[in-house]
Structures are given as structure tokens and as C-alpha cells.
Structure 1
Amino acid sequence: MIVRHWRSVLLVCTAAATVLPVSQSFAQSAPAAPQATATADNATVLQKIVVKGKRAAPGSVADTPLATEITAKQLEEKQVTNFRDLGRSVDAGVNYSRGDGGFNLRGLSGPRILTTIDGIPIPYVSNSARQGAFATSNANGGGDTFDFDSLSSLDIVRGADSSKGGSGMLGGAFVLNTLEPEDLIPEGRDWGAIVKSTYDSEDRSISGSAAGAKKVGNTSILFQGSYRKGHERDNMGDNDSYGRFRTESDPADFDQHNLLFKLRQDLEGGHRIGLTAERFRRDLQTDLREQQGTGRANMIGNFDGRELRDRDRVSLDYDYEAQSSDAFFSSARATLYWLDLKKEAGSNGRTAANVPYGRNNEIENESWGFSGTATKDFEYSGLNHSVRIGLDAAVASWSQYSFGLCSTTCPALNNQAEVPDVDSQNLALTFEDKIEIGNTGFALTPGFRFDWFNYNPSTGGGFATNTGLSRFGDLSDRTEAAISPKILATYDLTPDVQLYAQLAVGFRAPTVDELYSRFYNPTGRYAQLGNPDLEPEIGRGIEVGANFDTGDFTGRVAAFHTRYQNFIETVTSVDATGFTTFNYTNVSAATISGVEASAAKTFNNGINLHASLAYAYGRNEDTDKYLRSVAPFKAIVGGGWSNDNFGFDLSSTLSAGMPDDDSTTTFDAPGYGIVDLTGWWTPEQAPGLRVQAGVYNVFDQEYFNALAVRDVNLTSVTASQPREWYSEPGRTFKVSITKTF
């Protein structure tokens, strides 16, 4: 059991917190009251108060010094409208992984990164059989099913710490918080609204969004909606031909919309209840020209791809803040939710022999769940305690189906489910106690989370015709439990600087795809198989760092080291007849270490400077090779100037190249440096109006996203395009107009 390695640490640290002497009175440890000083004319001047502490709700995954918040204002100022913008203009440690349909953090992505929206986990869905040669049918993901215009903030939590979020939190978490009525309603008013429109030349997209909120007595209501329409994302290629030598991006069209509704009712005694409904949908259609014509399998002008991201949820929400110190609980949060996530990917058209051809891979997860936390703040024997308990429970149904239209082999290979229908149940209990030791500035937070999950696969439905089922054995139920402990120590060095150190464990339960997938191709003589005996992945990490905020100077610095065990990877084996099997297996160990830092300084004359950097190194301890899922060193540095009505920012993104893994086939992306220039204007004649524009990659440099091309084999005539095909956009611009009412 995981807790075996940490039990003694928790006991020792908790005992230390109990017996450490308190050298000063408890009153001094409270936030300092405003100090009064007398001036020459006997006027009293109050000194500035610096308000510290996380704004995350107690019990939130982001309620930790290892988290950083990106507010809606920052998203607007940095013109963040897509996933890639975060790692380019906001945080050097963030990268987007398109293949996994989500973010990459500290070298991990996919199911190893937790994504939540309003406290509700977004599941990760996948089908391993529809990757590689079936790249046009890759429907993996889940964390990419949201719209930035619907967010009030986004929290990035770094490190392996499943005591905060449960399964999947091996590299960290992205905590999405959607708009609330109070985000739109100004002080002294009972209504508020915001409208926004953006044009982005990168994909020639235009978007519009609107949100409004109204308060009547103790009832608040919010509507938000957005729509975006665009085309393919540009690159630096200039060859518009068909087939092997094409370098321009394939022509594409997409439609995306998001709808959000919230109803909130404030009750006496600090209680609030609410209803939330949300819908997100993005539909992409692509003319797959690089797969058409001479040397390719498909007819020119008749082969298209499609991707669909679709997520719906309805939740009943409850919040409580105690009105007096003697209340039984200091605060409480609870959510009862329904969430449905669907992803599709496929292609259709005609082959070079003029034969109809089509594939579609559909994956869906429907979940019903409950998440609740409660905190109690109290003082005992000179120690301040903030105890948090939590309960999470969910039931879910997973389904997958592959449709195929082609030759006579399709009924056996495609018109079936490659992952069975699975009913799953999970239960989690959380405990955490933040112990503040008098006025020493020192606090110790031991905690743990117990997770239990159960999978029940079915061999009926579309899986009944799967030929791999009879060939590779029956499926079995799977039940597993794990305990994830952690110990966090913080020290307030000054009122503006907090130091921290944390030891924590993260774990990830295997996905239903990794456990139960079956794909058998007798013609191609290979099989892709899940493994019902997989062990959960485990990460044990240590991190030390500091956060500081003086008002005009903010930042953080951190160093971390995490060792992972039972990594789930695909292992290839070939039998005596030449039949190849790709099977999920636990490998022994990998380590990822690194440093991160960021800082922003604002001067009284309006000048500001900012920098963010991230470096990590990952190593497979079995092969002693570099982990190519870990991004190279990257830094964002820049500065600007602003006043009440105008401002600009000049920033540069600098990245090292992908380390050489001694392979003669994989593409090691070179380092690069690009420059972005943005500016904004809020005219005095039109209160509430904001005009913002930016020129990106000002010098039109060719560069590559190292993670996006880490598996590209440029020497393969059948599986790759020329180098320029994989390049990022050249010079682009973005313009947005926002009006707040």
C-alpha cells in the first residue's frame, strides 16, 4: 500500500507541530492591523496593508501554495483564446498536447494531468487502436472541451499530489472556474454585462461572446454564450500540392460554441444554492490533401476528415460560509452533477481505386457524481487548525464504437467496439489539517486521500463481434484502492514572502482503454491489446519553493524531483510467425526533475517587466534515455508600459531544442526565439470599451513545437511530410474589442 512509505513521516511531522514551542503570543500571528502614524499636522495616516493568501475556495484542488491563478483579466490582457496561448504568453511551464487533447505539465499529459471545471473532473477518454496509422481517427482527450470566454479564472497546480485531486494528478492539474454572477455585476448595481469579438489571422477565425447577469433580491442569474468560426491553422509551408510533398496546412473549417447558465439563491445564515447548465461543442472538417494523390491511398478531391468535441453538464451547487466563529463548520461546498463527454474522429471519401472508404471512432463517457468538502477552523493548545474533510463519489458508463466502410475486411476490423462498454464506480475520502504554530509563521499540513475504483466490462453490444475477444481471452472486473498521503510545510518569512516544502504521492488508475481494449488485424498480422492486470501508476515527489507578493512585485520559484513507478506504456513483442502484439505493460521507473520561476515588477511610472522560465529533465530509468514527453527549456521575457487608457507589451518566447535521443529517425526540433507585440486602448470617451491588438512572431521566424513533433519520422516516405509541414505559424495578428456594461 502506498501509505506504508509515508506513515512514519506523517506521524513525525504531526508530532513536531504539536510540541514545537510557541515563543510569542497568538495575537501577534494574526494579520497585522493597520498601523497609525502621526504626521507633522497631527493627521493620521494608515499604512498600506498587503493582503496575502490563496483566493481558492477551501477544499479546492487549487487551495495550495503550489498553485498559480490566471484571472479573466490576465487572459484578456494576454489575448488568450486557445490552448497554445497559455504557454506562449503566460506561463513557460505550460504546453499543449494535441495528441492527448489537453495540457502538458512537467513532462506529463493525457490521463496523467487532472482537469476539473467548477470542481467537477473532466474524464479522459481514449482508444489506442485508433492512433498511429489511424491518426485521422484519434479521438483521445477531454481536457480541451471548454471555451476561454466562459472562465473567470484558471488555476495551474503543479506536481504529483493526489491528496488534492485523486486519480490522474501525477503531473498536476488545471482547475477551470467558470463565470459567476458577481463577476459581471459591479458594486452598487444589480446587473452587468460584457460583449466581446475577436479576429485571429492564425486560423482566420472570428468569434463573438456575450454574458449578462442580473440580481433580484437574493436571486442571481447568469447567461453566457460564445461562437467561433474559423479555418485551418497556418504554418510556414508554401507547397499547395497534393500528397507526399505538400507543406501547407490542409484546408479546414470549424464551428465552436459554448453556452453557460447559472442560477444562484442566497439564503440566510451564509448558505447559497444554485443550478448550473453548460454545453460545449466544436466541429472540425478537414480536406486531407496530404493523403490524396500520387503515392497516397486516396483520390484527389475526395477524402475528408472530421473531429468532434462535445461536452454537456448539469449540476446542483451548494456553498456555505459560517457567519460566526462558533458554527459547526467554517465552510462547506457540495456539487451533485451529470456530465456527458463525447469525442469523435474519422475520415471518409474514396480510395485511389475509386472505392468508397470511411472510418469513424466514437468514444463517450456519461458520469453521475457527487463532490463535497467541509472545513472547520479552531484553536487548540496554542495551535490553529483548519481541518478539511471531503467525499467524492461517481458512477460512469464508458462506450466506444468504430465504424468502417471500405473493403471486405472492414466488418471484421471496424464495425465493432474495440473497447467494451464499462460501468465504473469510484469513491474517495479526503482528510487534511493545516496546523499553524502560534506566531512563528510556520504551518504544517498533513493530509491523505483514499481512492477506490471498480470497473465492470461488458462483452455485449458492439464488442460482441470483436474478433480479438475470442482470441485473447475473457475480460474480468477490476477493483483497486490506494492511499495518497502528503505533508506540506510553509513558513512566512516576511508578510510578503512564503516558503514551502512538500512531500506528496500521486497515483493514476488505468483507463478502460488500457485495461480492456482489443484490436486484432489478421491481415496486417498485429494486435493492440489492453491488460486487465495493470497496476496504477505511482509518483512520489518532493518540491521546495517560494511565493512572493509585495503588491508591485510578484512571483514564484520552485525546484522539484519526482520518481514515477509502474508507468503504463506500450510494449511490442513478435512471435515466431512474425505476428506483432502491442500490449500495455507497467515499466519500472522514470524520474522528472526541474526548476520553474516567474516574476513581474510594476514601477510607479507605468513601466512593467515580467519573466517566466521552466526547465525539466526526464529520464527513463530502464533505458537511461531522455523522456521526449518533457519539453525543452523555455522562457518568456518581456516588458511594457501602461497608464489608465493605453498600454503595450513586447515579449519574447525563447526555447531550447529537443535533446538528441540518439535516434536517426525522430525529428529533434531546434531551438527558437520569437517576438510578440501587443497593445490596448480604453478611450475615455467610451467608458467600458477596450480595444486590443497584437502582432505575433513579429519577425516571421520558422519554428517548431518540440512536443508536437517528438514522434515525427522525417525519413518515412509513407508516414511523414516534409519538415515545413510541421512548422508553427509565421507572422499573425489578433484584434479584439470588448465592451463592459
Structure 2
Amino acid sequence: MRLASRPAGGRPASAHSVPLRPLAALVAAIAPAVLALGASQAQAQAQTSELKEVVVTATRQEADPDLIPATITSIDRKTLDRRMPHDEAALMENEADVVISRDLRRYGSAAVNIRGIEGIRVLQQVDGVRLPDYYYGGGPSNITASMPDGPEMDFLKRAEILRGPASSLYGSDALGGVVGYLTLDPQDLLQGRSTAMRYKGTWRQADHSFQNTVYAAGGNDLVEGLLAYSQRNGKELDNKGNVGGTGYNREQPNPQDTKSDSVLAKIILKPATGHRIGLTYENREQDNHVDSLRLSSGVPKVTQTYGDENTKRERYGIDWEWKPTDRWFDRLALKFYHQEADSKTYTMQRRSNTSASCSASSGAGNNCLVDMNFMFNQKTDGLNLQLDSYFQTGAISHSLAYGADWRQTRTEELRDYTVHNLTTGTTGKTLAGDTYPLKDFAPGESTNLGLFVQDELSFMDGKFLLTPGVRYDEVKLRPDGMSKVAGSGGSAVTLSSASQNHSAVSPKIGALWQASPAVALYGQLVRGFRAPNYEEVNGLFYNAAQNYVTLPNGNLKAEKSTGLELGTRLKALGGDIKVAVYDNRYDDFIEQVRVCNDTAAPFTCPGGTRSAYQKLNLSKVRIQGAEVRGSWLFAGGYAFQGSIATARGDDEQNNRPLNSIEPLRAVLSFLWDKGQWGGETRLRLAATKERINDADTDYYKPAGYGVMDVSTWWQVDKRFRLTAAVNNVFDKQYTLWSDVRHAGLLSTDPGPSFFTQPGRNVSLSLQADF
């Protein structure tokens, strides 16, 4: 028997939930704040229903987040407007278990970290399209990096964060979670009107930026359109450092000039009842010029560095949605997209009193200029098909999602250096034993095909939900033919690129029990996997001067994970309280390891090289944690929100702590909405980072902190809205563990204040609607 239609929001309405007794200790951490906030439960329920949100990332369908057996949160447009984040890292500041590291030396926002898993192990996507890979070459010169180029934040409808393995729906790369960005649609501006225009201007003191964004939308019953353009000009991100100048001791930020231009265009056609065709174009281009006045002690002959970065991501897409009334399915969604991401980096280094070969670390008597160009490019074509069926078998209601994803990505990387010896007057293409141009890994294509099905079974009039799901994936890696000779003489060996095939079945089972109108308990057990990528399998690098080699590994296995999460949701004390505990285990973690050296080697280094490095499946990693979230709504438009998260991570292979784990963090917010005006006071807290694996690196250990932010808005009339925010109200000096770890800052390194966050800073915004 078919159901005539599905309830709004994708699932039946339901109440919220409560914590389990074993988590009482964690609940106690926020209990004083809860008890201090009195409000009637009935009133809170009424207000909550008015503000009900839906999410799509967790199930690939519109769904009530309270009925999902996993932890997912969303950052909506109102929150973005109120807080005016200056980058992706600031966007995630209110998520106690999510952080995005920054490269404060040059590149800005880098890798997203969810519950201790980060980088290429977390899937990021915009409107369902996977963002390009995060690539970081490392090294003291910090000249080879490509950051995932996310969407312009003024174009976002909301951002959704799904925690834990999600391969049962998304396949490879969703090992640690998913960040889903959803962009604006025409109706987000039109809201029932035939035309709408908007201007938004924002000034942010933290990075001295000024941004102008204009929107235009129009439509009728047959066609709707949206066009948005944003330009932003700024400087470097401030910090609390005092020491200027050039050298290892510099604390003030490196001077930068930044610019970004972004375009979003959408056309939505409704040619017939139940049909919707969407055309999307998105383009974001960013330019950055930096004078790297803080120099690295690891390359003492480098006395001056400056450079430019240009990143561009362009996306085309067409999607078709059909909701028939007389077919065996209730919804069909078909999407095709093409995306190209291009990152180009130019660096000029002056090397003083160095060797005739222009070494960065030794020699004397020569002065050199070294021009360094780096390129990273990814082109992706993809096709997604999903069908939804809502039906009933006896007393059981079903919400079935099934379909296929196909994606083909071509990846290329190149370094090209030119060396000018100013003393001898010579110019060449050889540096430190390498001859340029060169590639650090074999370029090539990766093809991903996934088939998935997930059913939500509703029993007992919606009081019990069971969600089984499974996905099958095939991943093929086809590198271009590439080889390098390592070593010299008769012992030299030839290293060649290798193809790989991977397949995996990723099952999932989730359950939610609505024990009472106020209490729900849930749990999920899910399997995840991530196939190795082009760089990990086909790293091919040989440095003749220092006689070391990076080896390919055609036998590299896919990483795997098993995630268990248990939670409870309670509607009580005038609000919602959500508690989750999780235990995620990861096998065959891929790490780069020195497999041999000239003093002690498990096996002989190939080609007589001094040392060799290779990506291997080594670690067994386990991450356990607990989180509490709460929100309370009161009469008069007042609200309180809070979250606290703690985790422990271990490299069980080597019996060491996992450094990607953040210290205990909490965020508390008090909001008020008086109709014509409102505001928010927010307190961000973090404990001192103490549990660190410093067997190989004696990291700088940042202290804990507490930072207050205040924002307010005023709806002058129906057209004009003013927003102001003061961040770090008390001008606190603090440092983030994620930034320190990304830079590899040592406890003995000079000028640690270089890595501090901005002091007290103001943001202002004007929005005008016509």
C-alpha cells in the first residue's frame, strides 16, 4: 500500500529527547546553566515548532534532525548574518567538536577536522558536488599547498556537519564525516514575490576586509532565476604579536593583500507539474600576495620570501527532479556536473651567503634568487541518480532512498623552479639535486562508482525507527605512465607508477526509539572506508643531492573504519538537550614512514640511497568521545544554546596519543530577538592541550582560553538591516592547537605569538532589500 504523500520535513513530527544515566557526569558540566534557565516546556515546544529545521546531508533527503540516529548540526543563514565569519575556520567556531586549521604563515583556512579525523578523510561538498582535494607538501619553505576552495559564504543557505563514518551513503572520503554546503535558491530571496534585489556590505576588522555582495532574483510559476556577485578585498589576519621586522623572531603577521571574486547563477524551470529542472553556475577566484617576513630556522640561507597564490574553482551543473503521482517511485533526482579547480603558487626566495648551487641551508660566498612555481589541478565530471519511494507494508511505513553515484577526477601537480646565481651570473633549472620541472607523484585519473540503498522503517506509529543501509563502491586509479631512476651507477633502480582497483561494501544500521513524548534514545553502527589517492599510491620523488627517495606503493590498501554512536535527546527544562557518546575505530591508516636509512634499516634502501620514505598501512586508530548540546527558548524572544565536547584518540599501533584530537572545548550562547532588533553573546572555551605525542616533535602546547563575542542587529525598516559584532571583547591572547600543529611549531621556536588569534575586533554589515 502506497502512502499518498510524505510529511513536511521528510519524516513524521516527533518530540525531542533525554540523556542516559551513564552520561550524568558530562551533563553535570552544563547543569548549573540549565537549572538557572527556567521556562515552561509547553511554551518551548510551541516556539521550537515554529523554528523547525530540516537537513539533507545525513540521509540525502529532507529530514528532521531530531529523527536521525546520528549527530548532525546546521549553521543557517541567520546565524551567518549575525556572526559575519571572516573565513571557513571562523564559520565552525560554534561547533565544539569541529575545527578547521589555518596556515597562518600564508594560505589561511586548511583542513577540516571532525572528532579528530581530518583532511582528505572528511568529505566536503557544495550542493552535493565534492570539493577538490586538500594537498599540503609540507616543509619549512611552505611553498606547495592547495586548499579546498569552498563556497563564498554570502552565497550560503546553510552549512551542515554530519559526524562519524558516512560511507554507507557517500562512499570513499566520508571516513570521518561530511560537511555539506547548500547555496541559496531564488525563493530564498523572492519569498513569494516576483522580483527581489539585495545588497550586502560587510567590513571586518580582523582581516581589514571590505566585501560587497549584490543579488537579483525573479520568477513566476514557470521559471525562477538568481544571480549573485561578491567581491572582497582584505589584508592579513591580525594577531596579538608585537615583534616586527624580518627573521625567525617575528611575531606580527606576514603582510598580505587578498582579493576574491565570486559568482553564483541559478535558473529553475518548472515545465510541468511535478518536474523541476535546475541549472547552476558557480565560480570563485581568489588572489593573495604575501611577504613572508617571518623566516624559518630550517632554511637559514633564505633571507627573503614573497609570493602570490591564485586559486579558482568553477562548477557547472544541471539537475532534474521529478515527483510523479502514478509511478512506483515518489521522487527521482538526476544531477550532472563538471568542476575544475586550479591552484597556482609563485614564490621568490632570496638566498644570501650560500653555496654556488644556491643551497637553502649551507655554504658561503654566493647570493641567489630562486623562482618557484607550483601548480595543482583537478577536473571532475560526475553523475548522481537517486530515487525515493514512500510506501507501507502492513503496519510498517518505509522511506526508501536508492541510487548510484559516478565520478571521474583527473589530478595533476607540477613544480618548476628557476635558479639565478647573482654572484656568478648563471641561471639554471637544478636545485638541491633536482632538475625542474618535476612532478612529486604520477598524475592520472580516478573513477568512482557507487550503488546505495537505505530504508527507514517506522514502527509503532512512528515511535520506533530502524534505518538499515548499504553501499557498494568501486574505485579505480589509473595514473599516467611515469618512472624515475633512484640511486646511481650499477645499483640504480627504476621506480614506476602503478594502477589500483578497490571495492568495498559499507553497511549501516541505525535505530531511534521515542520512549515518550519528551525522550528519545538512538544508536547507530556504521562501516566506512577510504581508498588511497594518487599521491599515496604513486609518490615518485628522488633527491640526488641528499640521496633520499619517495617510493610508490602499488599494494596500498584502503583505510577502513567502524563507528558506534549512542545518544539520547530530551525535551525538558524548557528546551532540548542532546547527548552523544561514540567509539570510532580505524584500520589500515595510511601514513608516510621512513622504511630504511643508512644506519639502521628494516631492508636495504633501493639504489643505494641514504633513506627511503613510503606510504604504508600501519596504524590502528581509536577515537572515543562524548558531547552534550542544549538549546532553551523562553518567553520574550530569549534563547540559550550550549555545547561541550571531549575526545580521546590513540594510535594503538605505536601506543601513542593521536595529535589530531582537539582539547576539551565548549561554546555557550545567549540570544535575544525583539522583532525589530536582537543580538547574541557567545563564550568560547577550550582546555589546555596536554595529551600530545611528542616522541618525534616537541610541539608548542597552547594554554586553555575563554573568549567572549557579542553581536547585535537592528531591522531599521522592512528594507534595511544593520549588524555589528565585537569579537574577543576582552582582547584575550590565545592560540589554537590546530594552527600550532599544522605549522609544526616547536616549544623551542622563537616568536610563538605569531600564531595567536586576532585581539578585539569589530565587524559591521548593512543589508538592503528591494
TM bin (shorter chain) = 0.7 to 0.9
Q: Deviations over 1:242-297 (max 9, x none)?
A: 11111111100111121011111013231101211110111111001123999843
- 1:309 aligns to 2:311 (yes or no): yes
Distance 1:707 1:549, change over 3 A: same
Match of 1:268 in 2: 272
Contact preservation (8 Å) 2:689, 2:701: yes
Contact preservation (8 Å) 1:112, 1:169: yes
Greater mean alpha carbon deviation, residues 608-617 or residues 153-162: 608-617
Amino acid paired to 1:409: T
How many percent of aligned residue pairs carry the same amino acid? Answer: 27
- 1:153 aligns to 2:158 (yes or no): yes
Partner-residue secondary structure (3-state), 1:473: strand
Match of 1:3 in 2: none
- 1:677 aligns to 2:710 (yes or no): yes
- 1:138 aligns to 2:145 (yes or no): yes
Q: Deviations over 1:413-451 (max 9, x none)?
A: 441112222122111000111111132610111110101
Amino acid paired to 2:713: W
Distance 1:409 1:61, change over 3 A: farther
Following TM superposition, where does structure 1 have runs of at least 4 consecutive aligned residues deviating by more than 6 angstroms? 292-295, 464-470, 549-552
Structure 1 CA distance, aligned partners of 2:711 and 2:620? 44
TM-score by length of 2: 0.83
Distance 1:61 1:517, change over 3 A: farther
- 1:204 aligns to 2:237 (yes or no): no
Distance 1:107 1:662, change over 3 A: closer
Match of 2:730 in 1: 699
Structure 2 CA distance, aligned partners of 1:468 and 1:428? 42
Amino acid paired to 1:485: P
Partner-residue secondary structure (3-state), 2:270: strand
Match of 1:409 in 2: 430
Structure 2 CA distance, aligned partners of 1:30 and 1:534? 45
Partner-residue secondary structure (3-state), 1:355: strand
Structure 1 CA distance, aligned partners of 2:643 and 2:407? 38
Contact preservation (8 Å) 2:57, 2:162: no
- 1:729 aligns to 2:758 (yes or no): yes
Distance 1:281 1:494, change over 3 A: farther
Structure 2 CA distance, aligned partners of 1:415 and 1:366? 21
Structure 2 CA distance, aligned partners of 1:552 and 1:414? 66
Residue pairs, 1:479-628, within 5 angstroms: 479-495=501-517, 497-547=519-569, 553-576=575-598, 579-628=610-659
Amino acid paired to 1:517: G
Match of 1:338 in 2: 338
Amino acid paired to 2:430: T
Structure 1 CA distance, aligned partners of 2:250 and 2:379? 40
Query: Which one of 86, 107, 110 corresponds to residue 119 of structure 2?
Result: 110
Distance 1:49 1:126, change over 3 A: closer
Higher relative contact order (CA 8 A, sep 6+): 2
Q: Deviations over 1:485-541 (max 9, x none)?
A: 000101223456543210001111111111111121121232233422111111101
Q: Deviations over 1:697-721 (max 9, x none)?
A: 111111111111126565588xx54
Structure 2 CA distance, aligned partners of 1:722 and 1:329? 62
Match of 1:42 in 2: none
For the aligned residue pairs, the C-alpha RMSD in angstroms reads: 2.7
Match of 2:719 in 1: 688
Distance 1:660 1:328, change over 3 A: closer
Greater mean alpha carbon deviation, residues 490-499 or residues 205-214: 490-499
Aligned residues: 682
Structure 2 residue ranges without an equivalent (≥5): 1-10, 15-45, 104-108, 353-365, 420-427, 600-608
- 1:319 aligns to 2:350 (yes or no): no
Distance 1:228 1:721, change over 3 A: farther
Amino acid paired to 1:370: L
Greater mean alpha carbon deviation, residues 576-585 or residues 58-67: 58-67
Offset, 1:381: 2.1
Structure 2 CA distance, aligned partners of 1:310 and 1:94? 26
Q: Deviations over 1:84-118 (max 9, x none)?
A: 22332x32222012368331111111111001111
Match of 1:82 in 2: 87
- 1:397 aligns to 2:410 (yes or no): yes
Offset, 1:312: 0.7
Greater mean alpha carbon deviation, residues 519-528 or residues 489-498: 489-498
Contact preservation (8 Å) 2:484, 2:496: no
Offset, 1:580: 2.3
Offset, 1:209: 0.9
Partner-residue secondary structure (3-state), 1:248: coil
Q: Deviations over 1:579-636 (max 9, x none)?
A: 2222111114110011122222121123322212111111110222211111111001
Structure 2 CA distance, aligned partners of 1:171 and 1:439? 33
Match of 1:243 in 2: 247
Greater mean alpha carbon deviation, residues 696-705 or residues 490-499: 490-499
Amino acid paired to 2:756: S
Amino acid paired to 1:621: E
Q: Deviations over 1:664-688 (max 9, x none)?
A: 72111111111111111112xx323
Distance 1:297 1:166, change over 3 A: same
Partner-residue secondary structure (3-state), 2:416: strand
Structure 2 CA distance, aligned partners of 1:640 and 1:145? 28
Offset, 1:132: 1.9
Query: Which one of 699, 703, 712 corresponds to residue 666 of structure 1?
Result: 699
Greater mean alpha carbon deviation, residues 524-533 or residues 566-575: 524-533
Contact preservation (8 Å) 1:61, 1:164: no
Match of 1:448 in 2: 470
Amino acid paired to 2:252: E
Partner-residue secondary structure (3-state), 2:740: coil
Amino acid paired to 2:406: A
Greater mean alpha carbon deviation, residues 52-61 or residues 484-493: 52-61
Partner-residue secondary structure (3-state), 1:153: strand
Structure 1 CA distance, aligned partners of 2:451 and 2:302? 53
Match of 2:286 in 1: 282
Contact preservation (8 Å) 1:244, 1:295: no
Match of 1:362 in 2: 375
Match of 2:23 in 1: none
Structure 1 CA distance, aligned partners of 2:457 and 2:746? 58
Structure 1 CA distance, aligned partners of 2:643 and 2:296? 43
Structure 2 CA distance, aligned partners of 1:446 and 1:293? 54
Distance 1:349 1:235, change over 3 A: same
Contact preservation (8 Å) 1:299, 1:354: no
Match of 2:20 in 1: none
Distance 1:150 1:124, change over 3 A: same
Offset, 1:480: 0.8
Distance 1:634 1:377, change over 3 A: same
Q: Deviations over 1:152-200 (max 9, x none)?
A: 111111111201211111211001111111111123x112222211111
Amino acid paired to 1:422: G
Structure 1 CA distance, aligned partners of 2:443 and 2:179? 28
Greater mean alpha carbon deviation, residues 549-558 or residues 245-254: 549-558
Query: Which one of 59, 63, 69 corresponds to residue 74 of structure 2?
Result: 69
Distance 1:348 1:57, change over 3 A: closer
Contact preservation (8 Å) 1:70, 1:155: yes
Match of 1:650 in 2: 681
Match of 2:18 in 1: none
Distance 1:549 1:363, change over 3 A: farther
Distance 1:82 1:101, change over 3 A: same
- 1:120 aligns to 2:125 (yes or no): no
Amino acid paired to 1:154: A
Structure 2 CA distance, aligned partners of 1:62 and 1:121? 19
Query: Which one of 171, 175, 180 corresponds to residue 176 of structure 2?
Result: 171
